[in-house]
Chains A and B, each alone.
Chain A
Amino acid sequence: MNRSLWWKIALIIAILVVYVVVLIPGVLSDEPIRRGLDLKGGTHLVMRVNVGDALVLETDQASEALKSQAAKNNLPVPTTRRVNPTTFVALPPPGIGSADYERLAKDYLPAFDLSRTPEGAMQFKMKPVSASAIERDTIDHAVETIRNRIDALGVTEPLIAPESGNRIVIQLPGIDDPGRVKDIIKTTAVLQFRMVEGNPGPDVKSALDSVGPNIKNEVDVLPGTREDELGRAAGVEYYAVRKTIPVTGTDLKNARVQKGRLGEPNVGFSLTPDGGRKFADLTGANVGRRLAIVLDNKVVSAPRINNRIEDQGVIEGTFTTQQAADLALVLRSGSLPASLTTMEERTVGPSLGKDSIHSGVRASVIGFVALILAVLFYYHGAGINAVLALLLNLVIILGMMAIFKATLTLPGIAGIILTLGMAIDSNVLVFERIREELRDGKTVRAAIENGFSRAFGTIIDTHMTTIISALFLFQFGTGPIKGFAVTLLIGLFASVFTAFFVSRVIFDFWYKPQDRPQTISI
């Protein structure tokens, strides 16, 4: 028998063995092929990072820096006003020239371009290169923070990737409580310790009225929760707190849930050495006064400082255990540099995922069996050939998906069975060609030879068109549809191989040239 035929058979068997071996450990494990969110359950989120927040912060800090440098250099403090996220205007007091300020700006505000407004005020505009650097940093920082939080939640195999348009794509397989996860991701968690001035009041005005007139410009009024005698939430009250922020969340080393005297949950924190020094200075200088713990611009609590505190503290508030645990988690993982806006969410619960797998697999098995029966019915002996090619095709698709860690989605399951339906096409092209050649009076061997060689170009063309559209599908789709495109592509390549190589070898094996076959079952 022809040696090259043996080689080909050996090659096919080798490929089969490789794929089956690849698949065996998978079949034994829980998850032979990685399942997409639509089958496994999980959440796909697209969040926009509001980088404007970070720009505003930078601009505000710059205007504060200008003012404080002016004070240090014994210059009258200018009035400043932010006109847009990247621009602020500074106006020196009447009668004072701006030359000194411009010198200061040159030294201390290198990221800003200085120009003049028609009214003669100095206008500081952030340099585009600085602005884009801040935007980039903000996104990176946000991705990092979100990653920390998701890791703390113990999600397996999450995907967190920045995308164009200041967006972050987050995929979390196996999530069964999306509401909580979204809350944790989205909490900005900007923690500040600020001194309280005056007394809290039921509205903004009363809080502001309680502070001295000379420091009215140096306080912000922030809302907080009012507690009754038992520490339960009872409405809103407002606090006037100092604008200066001596200690922030970045000074935190650790945070954890603990229990208070009455067993109520609260969040204990410890500070970095540097943060501890700052905290000690602050508390040491203000014993007897109230310190506001501000989270995301809300006063969580405002305890009275009893003595100097160095490196540990407790955040008390009206928390449930769950809220306290989540707060500790977000504090540990750091604050977000900017707020997030949900642009898109797709969550599939685990129950629905199970349902989808069930119906997807059932439909595929039925379709596959129907396909096999139809082929056998129509082509008899050659049908067996096509069925073998089809089975090998299926093994190759599944094996390739396992090897390349491709994700199987519900449309992907449909894609596999659909590819098999299409793969028949190649066999049909060859078989029909062989039949035609036989009708034209060719011998069996000549018919087989011609059938394969003539059909080759056509098969390549039909596959190319479908591959082109699968590439567009991949480019267009997200999640499930990408999975569909991938299975389709793999299947198309497998189908060229099986229809052309494997099916040919089987024919050569059954109808050997030296036997001079007279009949063929087709």
Chain B
Amino acid sequence: MQIFVNTNYDFVKYRFVAVAFSLIVMAVGFALFQKHGINWGIDFAGGANVVLKFRDQVPMDKLRADLADASIQQYGKAEDRAILIRLPRQRTESDYAGQVVARLNRDLNPEAATSKLDLNFQGRDRLTDLLATVDPDNKGTRPDARAYYAKVAENIINKRSELGIFTSTQQVTSAPGVTTGIARVLNERTFIGAFNVFGQETVGPQVGRELQQKAIWAVVLSTLAMGAYLWLRFDLMFGVAAVVCIVHDVLVSLAFLGIINGEFSLNIVAALLLIVGYSINDTVVTYDRVRENRRKLKTRATLEEQLNLAMNQTLSRTLLTSGSVVIVLIALILFGGKVIHEFAMILLVGVIAGTYSTVTIVPAVAIAWNNLTGRKHDISGPAARPKVEPLRDDTQRKRKAV
């Protein structure tokens, strides 16, 4: 199967329309950023995130009353009974998420004040300590006694990890290795708490500020590095065009983030950095072809004609490779889960923007540059380029119509 064989689209002609379109997209995106403000995630804004899974219905009213300045939203599906609590940045550095979790534990688990152990809240070390102290299976002081109880505790906590949360003592005692003696201890000395902590994050104000700077520098420097590499491999005009193209792709991706009001997180920066490196690939392939053609072309050709020829020759490759990445990204978006969802979305937009800018923005910049620098990139005929080395088996080659 073949598509886009011997195409002859006049891409160059539509470049101004395309530039205008890109500008509109960016303007809409940034207008939305202006309106909503940038939705800085915890990584950059600082603050704390806590993900909790509840045994019963989520006690929203109580949580809201307890954590007045927090935003509380559902995490995953409603029947998961999990929530994400987002807390704003604090002035001082502290173990903020930890403090909040400790407070919720105190408020939502009345039994926490007793010396009973919370099977949904505490870990295997505590459980091992408890079992080894009470020693229901009479292992005594044998050296493997602690290891024996540690194994049981591990099984119980693993079971919790599988289930997400314990909802009944039945589930606890059905873990492998739980003997009747151990079950009795569990019944007497432990309880099933109201929630299990799925995750907690604190980013102090200082770390947030530093990450912000690091992210900006990483994106800016990698863009410049890309321009420098292409300048070395090709020429200055192309280096500049490539940088403009990258800036375009990054800005369009950011505009998309603004449109979906997505959270600006570390993963988004990772996606942007990848866009910087990947979206330029199409452009490299196209310009590679321009360079190759320059050696072969035997008649006059303006830069516009050279670009159109190269873009048409590489069009099917450009679309195919973007297509293969798009297939993968769609799979990641649909099935990858929450954490990589936005990451994959931004990448998808970046890849599409990268392909689009290759046939629109890059020619626009290159042609403008060429016009400003006295049209040095036009080919005035074979006489003008005497140093071209003849290519092997090029003699019979039928040159395509320009």
Chain A residues near B (Cβ < 8 Å): 38, 41, 46, 48, 153-154, 175-180, 182, 186, 320-322, 325, 341-356, 358-360, 362-364, 366-368, 370-371, 374-375, 377-380, 410-411, 414, 417-418, 420-422, 424-425, 428-429, 432, 435-436, 439-442, 446, 450, 454, 457-458, 461-462, 464-470, 472-473, 475-478, 480-481, 484, 488
Contact = CB atoms under 8 A, between A and B. Distances in A.
A481 B267 contact: yes
B113 to A, nearest CB: 11
Interface stretch (B29-37, B89-97, B179-187): B89-97
B351 to A, nearest CB: 9
Contacts of A480: 266-267
A484 B122 CA distance: 31
Nearest to B347: A418
B287 to A, nearest CB: 9
A459 to B, nearest CB: 9
B133 interface: yes
A356 to B, nearest CB: 6
Interface string B312-333: 0110110011011101111110
A380 B6 CA distance: 20
B328 A345 contact: no
Contact of B274 (A38, A440, A454, A469): A469
B98 A179 contact: yes
Interface string B288-306: 1000100000000000000
A344 B331 contact: no
A462 B318 CA distance: 12
Contacts of A414: 332, 336, 340, 343-344
B198 A484 contact: no
A462 B335 contact: no
Nearest to B315: A432
A422 B354 CA distance: 14
Contacts of B331: 363-364, 366-367, 370, 417
A437 to B, nearest CB: 10
B384 interface: no
B317 A342 contact: no
A366 B292 CA distance: 38
A371 B328 contact: yes
Given A411-B267, A432-B314, 18 more contacts: A177-B122, A343-B207, A345-B97, A346-B199, A349-B161, A351-B196, A354-B161, A417-B332, A422-B321, A424-B324, A432-B316, A440-B397, A450-B393, A466-B281, A469-B273, A472-B273, A473-B274, A476-B269
Interface stretch (B123-131, B168-176, B359-367, B373-381): B123-131
B369 to A, nearest CB: 20
Contacts of B41: none
Interface in B387-402: 393, 396-398
A447 B215 CA distance: 45
Contacts of B2: 435
B177 interface: no
Contact of B280 (A322, A344, A446, A465): A465
A153 B125 contact: yes
B335 A472 contact: no
B276 interface: yes
Nearest to B283: A465
B147 to A, nearest CB: 11
B221 interface: yes
B288 A461 contact: yes
B201 interface: yes
Given A363-B331, A421-B324, A458 B199 contact: no
Interface in B3-39: 5-6
Contacts of B129: 321-322, 325
A350 B157 contact: yes
Given A176-B123, A349-B197, A363-B336, A466 B277 contact: yes
B327 A322 contact: no
Given A344-B202, A374-B327, A354 B162 contact: yes
Contact of A176 (B95, B124, B203, B280): B124
Nearest to A378: B1
Interface in B174-221: 196-204, 206-207, 214-215, 218, 221
18 contacts: A351-B164, A359-B335, A360-B336, A363-B331, A366-B331, A370-B327, A410-B340, A411-B343, A414-B332, A425-B321, A428-B321, A465-B229, A465-B284, A466-B277, A466-B281, A472-B218, A473-B274, A476-B273
B285 to A, nearest CB: 5
Nearest to B53: A351
Contacts of A465: 226, 229-230, 277-278, 280-281, 284
Contacts of B5: 439
Given A374-B324, A422-B325, A351 B332 contact: no
Contacts of B292: 454
B221 A362 contact: no
Nearest to A436: B313
Given A363-B337, A425-B324, A476 B215 contact: yes
Contacts of A468: 222, 225-226, 229, 277
A344 B94 contact: no
B98 A178 contact: yes
Contact of A180 (B125, B133, B284, B285): B125
Nearest to A167: B207
A480 B343 CA distance: 13
B372 interface: no
B66 to A, nearest CB: 17
A420 B325 CA distance: 8
B385 interface: no
A344 B207 contact: yes
B335 A476 contact: no
Contacts of A439: 5-6
Sort A-B residue pairs by CB-CB distance and give the 8 closest, nearest first.
A469-B277, A177-B123, A359-B337, A367-B331, A176-B123, A421-B328, A363-B335, A476-B218
A347 B201 contact: yes
A177 B126 contact: yes
A424 B278 CA distance: 13
A515 B320 CA distance: 31
Given A355-B337, A424-B324, A469 B276 contact: yes
B200 A432 contact: no
B108 interface: no
A188 to B, nearest CB: 15
Contacts of A417: 328, 331-332
B398 A440 contact: yes
Nearest to A370: B327
B101 interface: yes
B260 interface: no
Interface in B119-174: 122-126, 129, 133, 157-158, 160-162, 164-165
A209 B344 CA distance: 69
Contact of A374 (B266, B323, B335): B323
Given A466-B281, A468-B277, A179 B335 contact: no
Q: Which of B6, B97, B314, B331 has most chain A Cβ within 10 Å?
A: B331
Contacts of A478: 266
Contact of B198 (A352, A435, A476): A352
Contacts of B321: 422, 424-425, 428-429
B247 interface: no
B319 to A, nearest CB: 10
B270 A179 contact: no
A418 B320 CA distance: 15
A352 B284 contact: no
A174 B339 CA distance: 19
B255 to A, nearest CB: 20
B225 to A, nearest CB: 5
B280 to A, nearest CB: 5
Nearest to A420: B328
A356 B1 contact: no
